Amino acid sequence: MPGKEHYLLTRRAERDLHDTRAWSLARWRRKLTREYFSDLHQAAEYVATHHQALNSREDLTGDTGLCIHPVREHYLIYLPVGDQHIIIVTVIRQSRDVPQILGKAAFMIRREVIEIKNRIQRGELSLPK
């Protein structure tokens, strides 16, 4: 997803997007994959700057503190880290069992989010104004 300005990705989200790209290329080929990823990027930017007004979908995320936003056939699972910034923790196809996936991945997601927050505090990562 080009031009990451208002969101950061965990390693898990990066892997998910890599897998999503392969899935999309096999299904739709190059042109539609570019459009799909453009939509994912635009949605991530929108969520980052408007997350306060969006429904968090606790019916899917439970008590994880994570939020969810649908984009085409996928969900962006994210955590707000400021007024206009989010950490995208994972990307899951809507047809999958989201609560089960989040339950299994909870420890690793929490660990990666803590690592990113610590890197922000130490100044190793910065969030644009």
Tell me what the pLDDT averaged over the chain comes to.
88
CA distance 106 to 123: 26
CA distance 60 to 122: 33
CA distance 69 to 78: 8
- DSSP conformational letter for 53: G
Q: Given a cut of 90, is residue 3 above it in pLDDT?
A: no
Q: What is the pLDDT of residues 80-97, one digit of tens each?
A: 988 889 999 999 999 999
pLDDT value for 56:
72
Residue 87 in 3-state DSSP? strand
Any idea where the domains of the chain sit in the sequence? 7-121
7-121 belongs to which homologous superfamily? Answer: RelE-like (3.30.2310.20)
Amino acid at 51: H
- Give the least confident one: 3-12, 34-43, 78-87: 3-12
Q: How far is CA 69 from CA 86, 105, 119, in A?
A: 12, 18, 25
Q: What is the pTM of this model?
A: 0.87
